[in-house]
């Protein structure tokens, strides 16, 4: 990959370097960063061959890494329990549950090993400032940060899209989550000041400017754990595949569910199970919402973009059934503020975070109102964070 050097004021590069010295000694490691993401519109469209509009943010995962000659992999995290020390020969083809977060870097190592001749192991220290398991794709950021590191340390010069593919395959095959390509592409292809308009069929993409002087992104963490999110996520993937099979059989043969029209869907309504009908309706109508949202963003119309977020949230709640009372209440409370352009859950849903697009400088008023409403209803203080469009992934200056 063409080397991008990042400058950051985060204390985390210093912290991982210090821990690296303690843990492994020797020469100073190289350090890399890959961003987390929020998705503006296009919920659950990536694995249905639709479009998505993710933003790589200014938070993510930092890694300090170095190759090893003894065929071992040793991984430590500043945030998570359970380091790893194993032989590359023992990695196998599927992650073990006991490996926890370390399954992601191990999956990347495995993809790398399939691509280039190497008998080296590696050692690494990770730290992040994107909350784990909250819907902001910390797992894709761990994967992409590891892929950047292995690419640079082997001097392999792979394209960023290639690294995104590694990350996606690692997550699907090695970790076993049947996610689409959005998170890994959003992290690997992030560019300063832009969001990614990713057409997952293809894939093709373009970068669309996002103006931080006109709109800020407030992340609202419900602190509701995303219980069974992987299982329920895989269930939605299976439901969409089943709906697609009926449409293909009864209406016409298109490669992805997102490619069908509402008229196609109505044409086979009587043979579609009600749940499958609702899932498919979300997918085909979300394509319109993302087209509207992307057009609004292009025109600098952040209220128009916000309206697409609101409509997307409603459909994910009613038709796709991935919301929950906490996410509904927190987004409704945000929408009640004049300074909010729109709000929706982010990531897979089932708990975790929502986002609100807000007028710059208004986060104080908005968090005050939303925090009060949410606390009255659930007795829990949500957490808030103001995010910015980031600089994308890269190596950190040494
Ligand atoms: C998760 C998955 C993504 C995407 C979103 C829903 O974040 O990892 O691939 O499907 O959910 O839009």
d(CA 359, CA 304): 13
How many angstroms does the Cα of residue 104 sit away from the middle of ligand 1?
16
Q: How many CA atoms within 13 Å lie on the side-chain side of 216?
A: 17
Report the pLDDT value the prediction gives residue 9, as an integer from 0 to 100.
85
d(CA 378, CA 380): 5
Question: What does the longest C-alpha to C-alpha distance in the chain come to?
Answer: 68
d(CA 352, CA 115): 35
Q: Which two tokens stand for residue 212?
A: 């931080």
Q: What is this structure's pTM?
A: 0.95
CB 352 within 8 A of CB 139: no
Average pLDDT over residues 194-205: 97
Report the pLDDT value the prediction gives residue 108, as an integer from 0 to 100.
97
Report the pLDDT value the prediction gives residue 227, as an integer from 0 to 100.
73
pLDDT in tens, 96-106: 999 999 999 99
pLDDT in tens, 43-70: 999 999 999 999 999 999 999 999 999 9
Given ligand 1 and candidates 182, 186, 321, which is best to mutate, with the most ligand atoms within 8 Å of its CB? 182
pLDDT in tens, 349-371: 999 999 999 999 999 999 999 99
Report the pLDDT value the prediction gives residue 228, as an integer from 0 to 100.
66
Res. 177: pLDDT tops 90: no
CB within 8 Å of 117: residues ≥ 6 apart: none
d(CA 96, CA 354): 31
| Among protein residues, the one whose CA lies closest to atom 12 of ligand 1 | 44
Report the pLDDT value the prediction gives residue 290, as an integer from 0 to 100.
97
Average pLDDT over residues 163-178: 94
| Among protein residues, the one whose CA lies closest to atom 10 of ligand 1 | 44
Given ligand 1 and candidates 183, 321, 349, which is best to mutate, with the most ligand atoms within 8 Å of its CB? 183
Report the pLDDT value the prediction gives residue 5, as an integer from 0 to 100.
85
**Catalytic, out of 183, 221, 310, 319:** 183
Residue 171: pLDDT band by 50, 70, 90 thresholds?
very high
Q: Can you tell me which atom of ligand 1 is nearest the CA of 181? A: 9
Average pLDDT over residues 180-193: 97
Say which CATH topology domain 5-208+391-396 has: Ribosomal Protein S5; domain 2 (3.30.230)
pLDDT in tens, 105-158: 999 999 999 988 888 999 999 999 986 666 789 999 999 999 999 999 999 999
Res. 3: pLDDT tops 80: no
CB 334 within 8 A of CB 354: yes
Res. 2: pLDDT tops 60: no
Q: Can you tell me which atom of ligand 1 is nearest the CA of 139? A: 8
How many angstroms does the Cα of residue 219 sit away from the middle of ligand 1?
17
How many angstroms does the Cα of residue 180 sit away from the middle of ligand 1?
6
Residue 398: pLDDT band by 50, 70, 90 thresholds?
confident
* 183 classed as catalytic: yes
Q: Which two tokens stand for residue 186?
A: 């959003």
Q: In angstroms, how far is CA 394 from the centroid of its own chain? A: 17
Burial of residue 9 (number of CB atoms within 10 Å: 0-12, 13-18, 19+) = exposed
Phi/psi at 45 (5° precision): -95, -20
| Among protein residues, the one whose CA lies closest to atom 8 of ligand 1 | 179
pLDDT in tens, 298-346: 999 999 999 999 999 999 999 999 999 999 999 999 999 999 999 999 8
Beta-carbon count within 10 A of 159 CB: 13
Ramachandran region, residue 165 (left: φ > 0; alpha: ψ -120 to 50; beta: rest) = alpha
d(CA 88, CA 69): 11
| Among protein residues, the one whose CA lies closest to atom 7 of ligand 1 | 347
Report the pLDDT value the prediction gives residue 178, as an integer from 0 to 100.
84
Distances (CA, A) of 238 to 47, 137, 233, 287: 10, 21, 9, 19
Q: Which two tokens stand for residue 318?
A: 């009613």
How many angstroms does the Cα of residue 365 sit away from the middle of ligand 1?
30
Q: In which residue are the tokens 């519109």 written?
A: 41
d(CA 383, CA 305): 24
Q: In which residue are the tokens 């076993």 written?
A: 176
> To the nearest 10°, the Cα dihedral for 147, 150, 154, 160?
20
CB 144 within 8 A of CB 184: yes
pLDDT in tens, 239-272: 999 999 999 999 999 999 999 999 999 999 999 9
Q: Can you tell me which atom of ligand 1 is nearest the CA of 171? A: 8
Report the pLDDT value the prediction gives residue 88, as an integer from 0 to 100.
95
d(CA 341, CA 301): 10
Res. 1: pLDDT tops 80: no
Given ligand 1 and candidates 54, 175, 180, 319, which is best to mutate, with the most ligand atoms within 8 Å of its CB? 180
pLDDT in tens, 205-224: 999 999 999 999 999 999 99
Q: Can you tell me which atom of ligand 1 is nearest the CA of 347? A: 7
Whole-number average pLDDT of the chain: 95
**Cis peptide bond prior to 203, omega within 30° of 0:** yes
Pocket of ligand 1 (CB under 6 A): 39, 43-44, 46-47, 179-180, 182-183, 347-348
How many angstroms does the Cα of residue 187 sit away from the middle of ligand 1?
13
């Amino acid at each position: 990959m063409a080397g991008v050097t990042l400058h950051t004021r985060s204390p985390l590069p210093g912290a991982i370097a210090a821990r690296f010295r303690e843990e492994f000694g020797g020469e100073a490691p190289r350090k890399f960063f890959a961003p987390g993401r929020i998705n503006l519109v296009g919920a659950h469209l990536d694995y249905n061959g639709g479009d998505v509009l993710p933003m790589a943010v200014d938070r993510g995962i930092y890694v300090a890494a170095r190759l090893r000659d003894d065929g071992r992999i040793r991984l430590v995290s500043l945030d998570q329990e359970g380091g790893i020390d194993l032989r590359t020969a023992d990695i196998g083809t599927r992650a073990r549950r006991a490996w926890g977060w370390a399954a992601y870097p191990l999956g990347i190592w495995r993809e790398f090993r399939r691509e280039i001749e190497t008998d080296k192991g590696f050692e690494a220290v990770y730290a992040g400032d994107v909350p784990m398991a909250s819907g902001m794709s910390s797992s894709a950021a761990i994967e992409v940060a590891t892929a950047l590191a292995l690419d640079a340390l082997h001097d392999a010069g792979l394209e960023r899209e290639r690294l995104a593919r590694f990350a996606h395959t690692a997550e699907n095959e090695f970790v076993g989550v049947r996610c689409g390509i959005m998170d890994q592409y959003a992290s690997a292809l992030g560019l300063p000041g832009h969001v990614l308009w990713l057409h997952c069929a293809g894939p093709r993409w373009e970068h669309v400017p996002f103006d931080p002087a006109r709109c800020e992104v407030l992340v609202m963490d419900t602190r509701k754990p995303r219980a069974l999110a992987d299982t329920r996520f895989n269930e939605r993937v299976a439901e969409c595949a089943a709906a697609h099979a009926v449409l293909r059989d009864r209406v016409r043969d298109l490669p992805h569910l997102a490619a069908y029209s509402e008229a196609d869907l109505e044409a086979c309504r009587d043979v579609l199970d009600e749940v499958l009908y609702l899932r498919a309706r979300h997918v085909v109508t979300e394509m319109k919402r993302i087209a509207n949202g992307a057009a609004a963003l292009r025109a600098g119309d952040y209220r128009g973009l916000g309206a697409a977020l609101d409509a997307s949230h409603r459909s994910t709640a009613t038709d796709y059934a991935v919301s929950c009372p906490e996410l509904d209440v927190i987004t409704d409370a945000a929408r009640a503020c004049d300074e909010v352009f729109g709000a929706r859950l982010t990531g897979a849903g089932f708990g975790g975070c929502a986002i609100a697009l807000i007028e710059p400088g208004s986060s104080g008023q908005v968090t005050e109102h939303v925090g009060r409403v949410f606390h009255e209803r659930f007795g829990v203080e949500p957490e808030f964070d103001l995010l910015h469009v980031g600089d994308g992934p890269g190596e950190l200056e040494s």
